[in-house]
Amino acid sequence: MKPILEFLSLDEVYAIHQASLEILERVGMKFESVEAQQILRDAGIEVDTNGVARFDPDIVEEFVKKAPSSVVLRARDPKQDVYLRNDRVAFASGTGMYVIEENKARKSTYQDCCNWAKLNDYIKNVDFAAEIHSTDMPLELIGRYNFKAMVTNTTKAFLHSSFSRAAILDEIEMAAAIFGGKEELRKRSQFWSACAAISPLIWSENACNIFKETAPYNIPAFVEGESVIGGTSPVTVASTLAQTNAEALSGIVYNQILKKGRPCIFNIGFTHPMDMKTCLALHGNVVAGIVAAGGAQMARFYDLPSSSWMATDSKVSDAQCGYEKSLTGLIPALARSSFIIGMGQAEFTFAVDFKNLIIDDEIVTQIKRTLDGIEVTEETLCLEAIERVGIGGSFLSSKAKDTFKFIPKETTELTVGDRNTREKWLKAGSIDISERASARVTEILDTHVPEPLDRDIIKRIDEIIEKAKKNYIKQE
Amino acid sequence: MSNIEENIEKLSNLVVEGDTDGAKSIIKDLLKSGSDPLKIVENGLTKGIRVVGERYGRGDLFLTELLLSAETMQDGMRILTPEIQKQNKELKRTGSMVIGTVAGDIHDLGKNIVIALFSANGFDVVDLGVDVPVQKFIDKVKELKPNILGLSALMTTTIPKQQEVMNELKSLGIRDDVKVMVGGAAANQAFANEIGADGYAENAIDAVSIAKQLIGTS
């Protein structure tokens, strides 16, 4: 049996589901885009003059069923495509505007984004990457530069944020250049678009537009209900699940109306507990992991892929960082969240620390081992070996040769953690995991060469960015 | 202590407890027994909110308790302000503030706490809401001439808007007409200094005392 962690009984899952339907029927969900309001009306959904849509429960259930149960995140290299389903857990790196170096934070740049993509390209446990932001570029153009940094430095799929309608249209052009045209893009898109509802109960104009512009290309929609618990959703985990579930469901309904069968990732796993004294949204807090696990269970109820975030509120790569990452990683993983983003994350989700990516890589290895559980078969019971080795014998001898094949699967190795004797550790310089991870980052960035993108495609991407730059300067 | 003084003391405790119904009831009794509404504000409401401020500053209160107390005070003021005007007296206002979350940013939880506390501390506050364009801040400063302009930004992508507002004020030659304070999780003292803001506060209580210092009251 593969271990699975369930916080909710089936009755409780139903209770939350019914609560969400009630919220959507009685309170409603506001769609700020006038275009979206009409699209909903045309589909038979009641939208009032303030743009608030109230959904018949049957309509919600009907449209949510149309969303596929698995979503493919396509990579530049098809062998690195990521299949998201709710019976497997993928891992992704985190995002940020700052890079932490030597315990100091500095704004991330285009070059940092390139290096981040490169590091992610190398780390095996990273199934797909997230961007960090090219803040040295003009505000209007950051998204396009992020896109370029990612596609030129990794062949893996990546999560992309678009900040405007103009930006997403350019980014679709760039993606089309990579995949050989918009028709091809419909079949294989390397990026996918994430939009979070504004809790409580609002889809912004920007989100509505992004969903609409990307729908024809079948680019997966990452539909998020992401509240601050106690601030923009009530303070209980149950009510937060009910509200964010309603938000995500309404987004999925809208996306299915835009394009039936559009791949959607259902996300209520980024929800933030709030520090009730300072108002800050927390990310590394264990309650975040619990909510994400509840969200994963709701997603399995709808047979949709889900996600969550492993994170820390710590500013440095210390013990708090270690334990928060472990808890917020392991709890949703055991609940079978389809993917967990956040490897390398630091300082809430404002920053990344390259050495955290190395350390989190090791944490994820151990999480994956946990997910593999305990395999009990006639073979793994090793009765013959126990008898052969006998009383007082050793299982390191050839008498136990038939058990050696289990070694890779049953044990874990460390890449940067220390399990040496004190003497050996002293000889190696008596340094801790952060220092070793830091050295590893330098080594990888110096030696790893991602598969380059075709020069003509890079040229096309640069042309698109230049055009956007000219338009932007004109507006100034 | 006289009965009136006892009740005013009770009122300040009710503000601390965030008991709006109890506070309103005592205020009505006090007014009936001829108590001076200005004294009720000063020794009942303001005294209570000061205690709340100190406790919050020490980390002893949840935000929810802070907000309830601020609401109690505001509801009390709604009853007392007309009474003060009836007597042709004037309620001393601490100052005035225009506040908003900058363009592109829709975060307002913190801003709303700041507004509650400023109101509770005798400020007249005009809330421009969220996603406020730079021009709207400028227009309102010109129109309302507030003592304080408060700019909130929670995202590192929207923090530059605070700088834009400063630049606009300077280029229009009205920079010195108002004290500008910046806040929000993405802001900090270094950034405030960099853009030439008059003040930065990490939390609502500090914001109130810094604002008072900037205006020259205490």
Number of domains in chain B: 2
Name the interface residues of A facing B (CB cutoff 8 Å).
Answer: 97-98, 107, 133, 135, 139, 142, 163, 198, 204, 228, 230-232, 274, 276-280, 350
B110 contact A CB<8A: yes
Q: Quote the CA–CA distance of A432 and A418 in Å, as a whole number.
A: 8
How much of chain A exceeds pLDDT 70, in percent?
99
The answer to whether position A199 is within a domain reads yes
Q: What is the pLDDT, as a whole number, of residue A48?
A: 97
The reply to whether B37 and B58 lie within a common domain is yes
Token digits for B170? 């300077």
Q: What is the pLDDT, as a whole number, of residue B105?
A: 86
Q: What is the pLDDT, as a whole number, of residue A405?
A: 95
Residues of chain B with pLDDT under 50: 218
Q: What is the pTM of this model?
A: 0.86
Assess whether pLDDT exceeds 60 at residue A476: no
The answer to whether position A160 is within a domain reads yes
**Exposure class string for A420-452: b at 16+ Cβ within 10 A, else e:** eeeeeeeeeeeeebbebbbebbeebeeeeebee
My answer on whether omega of the bond before A200 falls inside 30° of 0, hence cis, is yes
Query: A132, A235, A278: which to substitute to probe chain B, counting the most B Cβ within 10 Å?
Result: A278
Q: What is the pLDDT, as a whole number, of residue A181?
A: 85
Q: Cβ distance A252 to A239 under 8 Å?
A: no
The answer to whether position A420 is within a domain reads no
Determine the distance in angstroms separating the CA of B145 from the nearest CA of chain A, rounded to an integer.
Answer: 28
**Tens digits of residue pLDDT in A97-142:** 899 998 899 999 999 999 999 999 999 999 999 999 999 998 889 9
Determine the distance in angstroms separating the CA of B89 from the nearest CA of chain A, rounded to an integer.
Answer: 38
The reply to whether B9 and B116 lie within a common domain is no
User: How many beta-carbon pairs below 8 A join chains A and B?
Assistant: 34
With 0-12 CB in 10 A as exposed, 13-18 as middle and 19+ as buried, what is A101?
A: middle
Q: What is the pLDDT, as a whole number, of residue B120?
A: 81
The reply to whether B70 and B122 lie within a common domain is no
The reply to whether B67 and B156 lie within a common domain is no
Q: In which domain, by residue range, is B10 found?
A: 3-86
Determine, for residues B63 and A350 on separate chains, whether the beta-carbon distance falls below 8 Å: no
The reply to whether B118 and B178 lie within a common domain is yes
Number of domains in chain A: 1
Q: Cβ distance A176 to A185 under 8 Å?
A: yes
**Tens digits of residue pLDDT in A87-100:** 889 999 999 989 99
The reply to whether B79 and B99 lie within a common domain is no
Determine, for residues B157 and A142 on separate chains, whether the beta-carbon distance falls below 8 Å: yes
Q: What is the pLDDT, as a whole number, of residue A325?
A: 97
The reply to whether B151 and B170 lie within a common domain is yes
Q: What is the pLDDT, as a whole number, of residue B154?
A: 81
Q: Which of A161-170, A441-450, B2-11 has the highest mean pLDDT?
A: A441-450
Determine, for residues B160 and A278 on separate chains, whether the beta-carbon distance falls below 8 Å: no
Looking at residue A275, which CATH number applies to its domain? Answer: 3.20.20.480
**Tens digits of residue pLDDT in A322-377:** 999 999 999 999 999 999 999 999 999 889 999 999 999 999 999 999 999 999 99
Assess whether pLDDT exceeds 70 at residue A33: yes
Q: What pLDDT band is residue A243 in, cutting at 50, 70 and 90? A: very high
Q: In which domain, by residue range, is A75 found?
A: 64-372
B129 contact A CB<8A: no
The answer to whether position A430 is within a domain reads no
Number of Cβ atoms within 10 Å of the Cβ of B95:
20
The reply to whether B113 and B135 lie within a common domain is yes
Determine, for residues B156 and A204 on separate chains, whether the beta-carbon distance falls below 8 Å: no
B106 contact A CB<8A: yes
Q: What is the pLDDT, as a whole number, of residue A190?
A: 61
The answer to whether position A57 is within a domain reads no
The reply to whether B99 and B207 lie within a common domain is yes
The reply to whether B99 and B80 lie within a common domain is no
Among A157-171, A178-192, B124-138, B178-192, which stretch is predicted with the lowest mean pLDDT? A178-192
Residues from chain A that touch B113, judged by Cβ atoms under 8 A, are: 279
Decide which of B51, B86, B121 is a domain's last residue.
B86
A139: nearest CB among B64, B113, B157: B157
The answer to whether position A78 is within a domain reads yes
- The average pLDDT across A418-436 equals 94
Decide which of B24, B53, B86 is a domain's last residue.
B86
The reply to whether B56 and B149 lie within a common domain is no
The reply to whether B121 and B211 lie within a common domain is yes
The answer to whether position A429 is within a domain reads no
Decide which of B68, B86, B104 is a domain's last residue.
B86
